[in-house]
């Protein structure tokens, strides 16, 4: 990041330079360059706009670029959508908000960048400046009969043949949201050119979805993945459910036929931590991934804020102390195996930690029978326990309740608990970066992300085995210039680099 070092700001995650990051708006990988677009507010009382952040060669070292969208004309704000590549050009589908609040008035607009290589290289001194390479083409989808307030568009390529998806793509599909904010209705549209859209109808689900009792399903996003078990390409729909004052994000697996989604895997939580919500897919430019490998894996980002749009950023310690609120998760590498999503941290993350000032990681291969426990305490620079991660064989718990910065947080007060499936070996990876903790367990079957505030210093880890739990191998990763004073001289069964 280009921002000054602060206590709470992560070094490897995307944060706003100042103000409030509301949501990831779009993500694109162009060869080895990452483009992230985020809905953010320069100040709490300012309208939302789209920022642009670039990462060259890896998704850990980010540079702020000129914003790409700001409210114009009768708009009161510009909210999230998606970004897709059309050759070397980028189409930006965004939510144009003409009236906010319970009686909102929204529509879907289109902007275009003719050459992806034209953006991000020169940055204006004025932070409110909008990149002149971004050309607005206007509103493309507005009220259609009983369907009003189109918003939150996700655009992906359509298929030449639904029967044989290996034939490739033709045209475009859009999954968007309509209706009032307290009763949203997802809908499907199709286009040949990405500009003129045919309304297919409301999103219909065939089969048990797990969403039958959920009233507010928002921020739908489509990811395509080839299942490693049956070798078929499926549609994975990422959704966020607004329920009881918090956001719960998850996925469904199946196949779209028009506006009908045939479910093969019902709604499954994608993260069992306190704060991973509103996941977004990453699109790619042509040639970035070989055609035959395109759907073997995908990358997603999430917002680390468990309250979502009902959150009050003025309550964030990071905003009060440092002038910013919210960040995005690490990009997660996801695969599909037997209808289940597996998530792993991005390649190169442990190497990136070495170049930071205060990030850290603990990675272990363990044997944790049911009834035993492996507990990892995460301590701050003053040796105070700020969070614990406990593997009990059949459950994984991320607890920050002992941390004075995380009390009185309502529905997020309690420890986060995930269920684990029985396996031959147990793995656990814990990454700490600023005020973030991200955990991956058992080969990616479980992921947990939570905001955790530390009062300075480089975090360190203390591990306790009980009831027969054993560490088979373990690695700790710290910054290159981190002093090892105070760490044990003999790590016994621990192996690997400890700096």
Q: Which long-range contacts (CB under 8 A, 24 or more apart) does 223-227 make?
A: 223/281, 223/298, 223/300, 223/334, 224/156, 224/165, 224/294, 224/295, 224/298, 225/295, 225/296, 225/297, 225/298, 225/334, 225/335, 225/336, 226/295, 226/296, 226/336, 227/336, 227/337, 227/338, 227/339
Q: Are residues 371 and 229 in the same domain?
A: no
Q: What total of structural domains would you count in the chain?
A: 2
Picking from 36-50, 137-151, 420-434, which range would have the lowest pLDDT averaged per residue? 420-434
Give me the mean pLDDT over the 5-18 stretch: 92
The whole-number pLDDT of residue 400 equals 97
Q: Are residues 284 and 394 in the same domain?
A: no
The whole-number pLDDT of residue 48 equals 98
Q: Are residues 33 and 175 in the same domain?
A: yes
The whole-number pLDDT of residue 389 equals 99
Does residue 369 fall inside a structural domain?
Answer: yes
Does residue 12 fall inside a structural domain?
Answer: no
Residue bearing the bigger pLDDT, 102 or 340: 340
Residue 413 has pLDDT above 50, yes or no: yes
Does residue 46 fall inside a structural domain?
Answer: yes
The DSSP element (H or E) to which 354 belongs, if any, is helix 349-354
CATH of the domain at 323: 2.115.10.20
Q: Are residues 278 and 403 in the same domain?
A: no
* pLDDT 10s digits, 308-352: 888 999 999 999 999 999 999 999 999 999 999 999 999 999 999
Q: Which residues of 176-196 are buried (b: 16+ CB within 10 A; e: fewer)?
A: bbbbebeebbbbbbebeebee
Does residue 383 fall inside a structural domain?
Answer: yes
Q: Are residues 287 and 395 in the same domain?
A: no
Q: Are residues 292 and 393 in the same domain?
A: no
pLDDT grade for 455, boundaries at 50, 70 and 90: very high
* pLDDT 10s digits, 120-166: 988 999 999 999 999 999 999 999 999 999 999 999 999 999 889 99
Residue 2 has pLDDT above 80, yes or no: no
Global pTM reads 0.94
Does residue 488 fall inside a structural domain?
Answer: no
Q: Are residues 265 and 193 in the same domain?
A: yes
Q: Match 């309509």 to its residue by tokens.
A: 178
The whole-number pLDDT of residue 244 equals 83
Q: How many CB atoms lie within 10 A of CB 101?
A: 9
The whole-number pLDDT of residue 408 equals 76
Q: Are residues 94 and 201 in the same domain?
A: yes
Name the pairing type of β-strands 324-325 and 19-30. Answer: parallel
Does residue 352 fall inside a structural domain?
Answer: no
Residue 487 has pLDDT above 70, yes or no: no
CATH of the domain at 422: 2.60.120.560
User: Both tokens of residue 126?
Assistant: 């004025």
Does residue 48 fall inside a structural domain?
Answer: yes
pLDDT grade for 243, boundaries at 50, 70 and 90: confident
Q: Are residues 163 and 254 in the same domain?
A: yes
* pLDDT 10s digits, 459-486: 999 999 999 999 999 999 999 987 543 3
Q: Are residues 70 and 202 in the same domain?
A: yes
Q: Are residues 300 and 405 in the same domain?
A: no
Q: Are residues 60 and 30 in the same domain?
A: yes
Q: How many CB atoms lie within 10 A of CB 11?
A: 22
Residue bearing the bigger pLDDT, 418 or 426: 418
| Structural domain that includes position 218 | 19-341
Picking from 204-218, 233-247, 304-318, 408-422, which range would have the lowest pLDDT averaged per residue? 408-422
The whole-number pLDDT of residue 5 equals 56
* pLDDT 10s digits, 393-402: 999 999 999 9
Residue bearing the bigger pLDDT, 494 or 262: 262
The whole-number pLDDT of residue 483 equals 55
Residue where a domain terminates, one of 309, 341, 373: 341
List CB contacts of 304: < 8 A, sequence separation 6 or more.
13, 275, 276, 326, 327, 328, 329, 436, 449, 450, 451
pLDDT grade for 57, boundaries at 50, 70 and 90: confident
What is the average pLDDT value for the chain, to the nearest integer? 93
Does residue 419 fall inside a structural domain?
Answer: yes
């Amino acid at each position: 990041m280009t921002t000054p070092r602060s206590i709470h700001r992560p070094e490897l995650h995307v944060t706003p330079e100042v103000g409030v990051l509301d949501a990831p708006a779009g993500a694109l990988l162009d060869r080895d360059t990452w483009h992230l677009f985020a809905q953010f507010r320069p100040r709490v009382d300012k309208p939302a706009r789209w920022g642009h952040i670039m990462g060259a060669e890896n998704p850990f070292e980010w540079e702020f670029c000129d914003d790409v969208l700001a409210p114009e004309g009768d708009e009161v704000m510009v909210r999230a959508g998606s970004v897709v590549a059309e050759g070397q050009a980028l189409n930006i589908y965004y939510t144009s908000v003409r009236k906010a609040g319970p009686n909102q008035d929204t529509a879907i607009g289109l902007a275009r960048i003719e050459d992806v290589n034209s953006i991000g290289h020169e940055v204006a001194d004025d932070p409110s400046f909008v990149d002149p390479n971004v050309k607005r083409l206007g509103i493309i989808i507005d009220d259609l009969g009983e369907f009003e307030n189109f918003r939150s568009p996700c655009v992906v390529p359509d298929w030449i043949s639904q029967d044989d998806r290996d034939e490739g793509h033709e045209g475009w599909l859009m999954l968007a949201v309509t209706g009032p904010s307290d009763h949203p209705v997802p809908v499907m549209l199709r286009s040949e050119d990405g500009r003129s859209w045919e309304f297919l109808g409301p999103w219909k689900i065939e089969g048990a979805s797990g969403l039958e009792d959920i009233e507010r399903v928002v921020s739908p996003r489509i990811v395509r993945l080839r299942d490693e078990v049956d070798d078929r390409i499926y549609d994975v729909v990422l959704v966020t459910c607004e329920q009881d004052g918090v956001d719960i994000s998850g996925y469904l697996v199946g196949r779209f036929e028009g506006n009908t989604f045939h479910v093969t895997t019902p709604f499954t939580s994608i993260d069992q931590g306190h704060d991973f919500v509103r996941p977004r897919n990453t699109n790619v430019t042509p040639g970035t991934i070989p055609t035959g490998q395109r759907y073997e894996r995908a990358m997603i980002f999430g917002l680390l804020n468990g309250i979502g749009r009902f959150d009050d950023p003025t309550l964030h310690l990071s905003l009060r102390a440092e002038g910013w609120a919210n960040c995005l998760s690490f990009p997660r590498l996801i695969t599909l195996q037997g209808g289940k999503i597996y998530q792993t941290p991005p390649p190169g993350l442990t190497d990136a930690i070495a170049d930071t000032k205060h990030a850290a990681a603990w990675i272990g291969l363990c044997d944790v029978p049911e009834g035993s426990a492996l507990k990892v305490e995460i301590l701050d620079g003053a040796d105070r326990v700020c969070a614990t991660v406990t593997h009990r064989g059949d459950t994984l718990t991320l607890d920050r309740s002992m941390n004075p910065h995380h009390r009185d947080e309502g529905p997020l007060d309690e420890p986060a608990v995930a269920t684990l499936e029985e396996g031959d070996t147990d793995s656990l990876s814990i990454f700490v970066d600023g005020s973030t903790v991200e955990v991956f367990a058992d080969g990616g079957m479980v992921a947990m992300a939570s905001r955790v505030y530390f009062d300075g210093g480089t975090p360190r880890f203390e591990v306790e085995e009980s009831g027969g739990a054993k560490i088979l191998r373990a690695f700790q990763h710290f910054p290159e210039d981190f002093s090892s004073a105070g760490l044990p001289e003999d790590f016994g069964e621990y192996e690997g680099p400890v700096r």
